[in-house]
């Protein structure tokens, strides 16, 4: 009866927890392997979150750059308009009001673009952004990006002192604005390439996590059908043993009655 009771308790515990190995006594080797697999699975989950955060950071930076790029296109349009000889300087002055407002807005966006408190487009320290997208502290688990690839300001785009108050300055601006548009396009292209790289890393990590989770399940999870049948078999044996013990007690009582 004691042996059957222990088997019922063991099967019930495995069924309720869903795991075959609850302690080292159940299967020491499987416990060691399962703990390693659990560690890798948890680490892969965090690496996926790290990579997704990095994608969000790049998307935020790229979105701000896209708006600045649209403003540069408008600045070029205004410069082309002001460069025409049919306008008076007073007319160019009114056009220049919009030009300067756009320049100020470009700088405001550069100063205010942040992700989790980190400046994106105006980092003066030129540090390296190191994204950990793997489970080990090895080179292949790191994705590094220089903050210089993010910097977009009036100074870096070389439009800081530009204006269109006269036709000559408007004509000169065209060359500088073309160069600025080329620069910001190259930066956006780099960010896009890094986003694609991160998305590929996320897909690989998710596939690896699914496969390792399946392996860990085969190592640690209980076979519900087997444990249920073992529990029912032990319960049946326990009932039979209880019946035999009850009868044995009755036989002892009958023998004592005969002796009387």
Q: What is the pTM of this model?
A: 0.75
pLDDT (average), residues 88-113? 91
Residue 134 sits at φ, ψ, to 5 deg, of -135, 180
Pairing of strands 118-119, 128-132: unpaired
The residues pairing with 129 across neighbouring beta strands, listed in sequence order, are 145
Distance from the Cα of residue 139 to its chain's centroid? 19
Q: How does pLDDT run across 128-159, given as a tens digit for each residue?
A: 888 888 888 888 888 888 878 888 888 888 88
Q: How does pLDDT run across 43-58, given as a tens digit for each residue?
A: 999 999 999 999 999 9
3 state DSSP class of 35: helix
Beta strands in 100-239 (DSSP E): 114-115, 118-119, 128-132, 142-146
Q: 86-100 burial, b if ≥16 CB within 10 A, otherwise e?
A: ebeeeebeebbeebe
pLDDT (average), residues 53-79? 93
């Amino acid at each position: 009866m004691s042996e059957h009771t222990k088997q019922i308790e063991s099967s019930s515990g495995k069924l309720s927890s869903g795991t075959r190995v609850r302690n080292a006594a159940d299967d020491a080797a499987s416990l060691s392997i399962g703990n390693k697999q659990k560690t890798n699975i948890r680490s892969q989950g965090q690496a996926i979150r790290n990579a997704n955060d990095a994608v969000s950071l790049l998307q935020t930076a790229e979105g701000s750059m896209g708006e600045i790029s649209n403003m540069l296109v408008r600045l070029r349009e205004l410069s082309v308009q002001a460069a025409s000889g049919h306008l008076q300087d007073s007319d160019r002055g009114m056009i220049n009001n919009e030009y300067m407002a756009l320049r100020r807005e470009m700088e405001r966006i550069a100063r205010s673009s942040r992700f989790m408190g980190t400046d994106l487009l105006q980092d003066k320290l030129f540090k390296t952004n190191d994204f950990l997208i793997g489970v080990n502290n090895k080179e292949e688990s790191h994705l590094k990006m220089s903050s210089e690839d993010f910097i977009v300001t009036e100074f870096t785009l070389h439009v800081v002192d530009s204006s269109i108050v006269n036709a000559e300055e408007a004509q000169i601006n065209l060359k500088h604005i073309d160069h600025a548009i080329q620069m910001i396009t190259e930066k956006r292209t780099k960010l896009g390439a890094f986003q694609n790289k991160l998305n590929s890393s996320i897909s690989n990590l998710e596939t690896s996590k699914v496969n390792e989770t399946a392996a860990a399940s085969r190592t640690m999870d209980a076979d519900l059908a087997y444990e249920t049948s073992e529990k029912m078999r032990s319960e049946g044996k326990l009932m039979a043993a209880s019946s035999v013990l009850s009868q044995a007690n009755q036989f002892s009582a009958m023998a004592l009655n005969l002796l009387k």
